[in-house]
Amino acid sequence: MQRHDWTKEEILAIYNKPLMDLLYEAASIHRKEHNPNQVQVSTLLSIKTGGCPEDCGYCPQAARYHTDIDGNDLMSVSQVKAQALRAKSTGSSRVCMGAAWRNVKDGEEFEQVLEMVRTINKLDMEVCCTLGMITENQAKRLAEAGLYAYNHNLDSSEEYYKEVISTRGYEDRLETLNNVRKTNVTVCSGGIIGMGENLEDRAGMLVALSSLNPQPESVPINALVPVEGTPLAEQDRVSIWEMVRMVATTRIVMPQTQVRLSAGRTDMSKEGQALCFFAGANSIFAGDKLLTTPNPDVNEDMELFKLLGLEPMKPFTKKSQPESIDAKESKYKALGEKPKWTRPGHTIERNLEAKEKGKNIKTKA
């Protein structure tokens, strides 16, 4: 059963339980709702990297911070198909395509993404996209193409979000999730720990996610990977114990969701990851890169699965495969909308400093 009225205090009390009690409770719920020996393997593909106009303090893809990532234009449908086939052959049941955009704009590039969705759906894989903010019509078009999930993270609590991002508001995130909910596409939304937030912010994010009705089908929990050149470059890495507590708390608060171990897995030992699986994580991202940050090698993951007796989850275990409609039979057309997503534009000192530093690097180059 899903509860949508969790309070911050209740969630903090769970997070701070003696660890053995927390693990026991989370693992018991996990076993009731899921097969504890199955983990979904998802491949994250960066279909358009870098050059993003946003100022997310953790992200090396924001153009203003001038990090050393190699940007690229939108990949072709055939490139994406080849990568999806490779992912399928190594045990992935889902491909998540990420584009470094503020929001989706109707036009040629979006049409190309829709074709990618149709192509991967035909490979009998779950298709997920993370493309920034989308309108209701765009969500419907993605659904019609056969999209299985849309990812749009809340990142942190509403209060702490303002300390990390100034170029869009929390309510925009919620509106995009709401637009996705108007279709049969499942919702994937989670956040990042280790950005300097306190425990109340972590609990606040879980309040926001669990109050969504229905709760997201998938909740990624990322540990910040600090990248040189970004405003959060100097943050300390989170400990495995914080990660385990966050995973277990998420599992208890959202029993039916798939809890996904995301960025930060390279820093975790095998034992640490095993504890996370025991605490209720039942999904991982595979592939040597997570958009731009390092991730364990697929072979290493398969070795770990063997060691722990885990097996990759088959596609469409939780929900049947969506129908994919060809472009020419489409009911929905591009509307050429120009939605007014907010631009709060408040000042975040460390983001401004990182931007200035980036400018200097550019002038010297």
Q: Which residues have a catalytic role annotated? A: 52, 56, 59, 96, 128, 188, 260
**Which has the closest alpha carbon to 210: 194, 223, 229, 191?**
191
> What whole-number distance in Å separates Cα of residue 11 and Cα of residue 22?
12
> What whole-number distance in Å separates Cα of residue 67 and Cα of residue 79?
25
**Which has the closest alpha carbon to 151: 215, 231, 72, 97?**
97
Residue 128 marked in a binding site? yes
Rounded least distance, CB 49 to ligand SF4, Å? 9
Phi, psi of 340 (to 5 degrees): -95, 85
> What whole-number distance in Å separates Cα of residue 306 and Cα of residue 254?
28
Tokens of 215: 């709760």
Residue 276 marked in a binding site? no
Tokens of 227: 């990248």
Residue 38: beta bridge partners? 311
> What whole-number distance in Å separates Cα of residue 46 and Cα of residue 57?
19
Rounded least distance, CB 128 to ligand SF4, Å? 15
Rounded least distance, CB 54 to ligand SF4, Å? 4
Q: Could you tell me how far CA 305 lies from the centroid of its own chain?
A: 22
Rounded least distance, CB 62 to ligand SF4, Å? 4
Residue 173 marked in a binding site? no
Tokens of 131: 């493309």
Residue 129 marked in a binding site? no
Residue numbers at the binding site for ligand SF4 (CB under 6 A): 52, 54, 56, 59, 61-62, 100, 132
> What whole-number distance in Å separates Cα of residue 159 and Cα of residue 169?
11
Rounded least distance, CB 257 to ligand SF4, Å? 22
> What whole-number distance in Å separates Cα of residue 201 and Cα of residue 213?
21
Tokens of 211: 């109050």
Q: Which is nearer to ligand SF4, 23 or 97 (CB)?
A: 97
Rounded least distance, CB 37 to ligand SF4, Å? 33
> What whole-number distance in Å separates Cα of residue 12 and Cα of residue 218?
21
> What whole-number distance in Å separates Cα of residue 274 and Cα of residue 306?
12
Tokens of 86: 């490779």
Binding residues for [4Fe-4S] cluster: 52, 56, 59
Residue stretches of the annotated binding site for [2Fe-2S] cluster: 96, 128, 188, 260
Binding site listing? 52, 56, 59, 96, 128, 188, 260
